[in-house]
Amino acid sequence: MQHCIVGSGLIGSFIGGVMTANGQQVDLVARGQWKARLQKPITLTDYLGNRAVVTCSIAQSKTADVIWLTVKCTGLHQVIDTLRDRVESHTVIVCCQNGVGSHSIIQQAFPQHQVLRAMVPFNVVLESEQHLHKGSEGSLTLEKSNNTHLTQQLADALSHSLIEVHTTENIDAVQWAKLQLNLGNGVNALADLPVKSMLEDRGYRRVIASLMDELLTVVEHSNITLPKVAKVHGKWLPTILRLPDWLFSRVAKQMLDIDPTVKTSMWWDLQNKKPTEKDFLYGAVLKQANSLGIEAPMNEAMIRLIETTEVNISNDNSRSGLLSPELCNMLNICAKN
């Protein structure tokens, strides 16, 4: 099979690199500094010590059997023309975006094609110019196709010591479970801290717990049963996050077992003055809540606060992270107004 990664940034390049290490035929579509970077050997590592060195192929083939779409939710509309140049009648498109429902943009643009979804749980950082590092745990979960052989081919293309792969028939529930974890992304971006440092502060954890409470209420009213996508089931996370620091560090030791430098994708977006995925994360919770006639004031407040931060950053090169008391106070004010 001929694979193509469209959107070869941190996640896309890591996935494409792993496929290359597996001996797959894969082209990577990249621009600017990423295109230059991928024309040289790339080192792939993870927090467990696994390692591979690969030389990727940059957009050689015109079309592909499988397109792995790894652009951000905010870039889906812009990439449609690129996809049209690469799809054939049999091409399968795998959407690897955060959030819930973003794949519908691709389904509407390509109604005759099979569009599958993948949940990518881990973070990837650029350790050095030619070194991509997966700094957190999690199994990539693929939506099962009606074609069992195709599902197995896709899983085999990715399965490697650097990436654990699972498949599921209920990707909707998996994406909601992943969305619950992603609700910490905006907090991390506003705090301007590594994820580990953020989680060591109860104030930030209380904000994340409040955001998660609203999501759990939404999925309960939607009759969605969340699967376990991390070492702790999502229904227990708000309680654990609210524990005092000394107890949290003991009970949730595995949650803190991540590289101390890891930051979320939303932090990177703010850092690079790019639009964030706020509408596909907090907005997805708010949209579902509205459809059910219930409220999600904390998630609504996060959208407004991140939006304000985006505007401020676009007008000023500098920014300082919000301390947890500041963030708690601002969100409470936002949620009440």
The pLDDT tens digits for 149-179 are 999 999 999 999 999 999 999 999 999 999 9
Domains of the chain, start order: 2-169 (3.40.50.720), 174-336 (1.10.1040.10)
Task: Indicate if the pLDDT at residue 332 is higher than 90.
Answer: no
**Average pLDDT for 248-275:** 85
8 A C-beta contact, residue 226 and residue 234: yes
- Whole-model pTM? 0.91
pLDDT digits (tens, 9 = 90+) for 198-220: 999 999 999 999 999 999 999 99
Average pLDDT for the chain: 92
Question: Does the pLDDT at position 317 exceed 70?
Answer: no
Distances in whole angstroms, Cα of residue 39 to Cα of each of 24, 32, 54: 17, 11, 10
Which residue is listed with tokens 């140049």? 85
Mind listing the pLDDT tens digit for each residue in 279-305? 999 999 999 999 999 999 999 999 999
Instruction: Write the CB contacts of 81 (distance below 8 Å, at least 6 apart in sequence).
Output: none
Select the highest-mean-pLDDT range: 54-58, 204-208, 269-273: 204-208
H or E element that contains 88: none
pLDDT score, position 307:
94
> What pLDDT does 244 receive?
95
Does the pLDDT at position 42 exceed 90? Answer: yes
Scan for tokens 């996508």, then name that residue.
229
Segment 70-96 mean pLDDT? 93
Q: Per-residue pLDDT for 77 more than 80?
A: yes
Neighbours of 236 (CB within 10 A): 10
Compute the C-alpha angle 308/100/273, nearest 5°: 30
pLDDT for the residue numbered 268: 86
> Which residues fall within 8 angstroms of residue 7, CB to CB, at 6 or more apart?
29, 69, 70, 71, 72, 75, 79
The residue among 336 and 160 whose pLDDT is bigger is 160
Other Cβ atoms closer than 10 A to 45: 17
pLDDT score of 5: 96
DSSP state letters, 232-260 = S-GGGHHHHHTS-HHHHHHHTGGGG-S-T
Average pLDDT of span 182-191: 96
Distance between CA 31 and CA 306 in Å, rounded?
Answer: 27
| Per-residue model confidence as pLDDT tens digits over 107-148 | 999 999 999 999 998 888 889 999 999 988 888 999 999 999
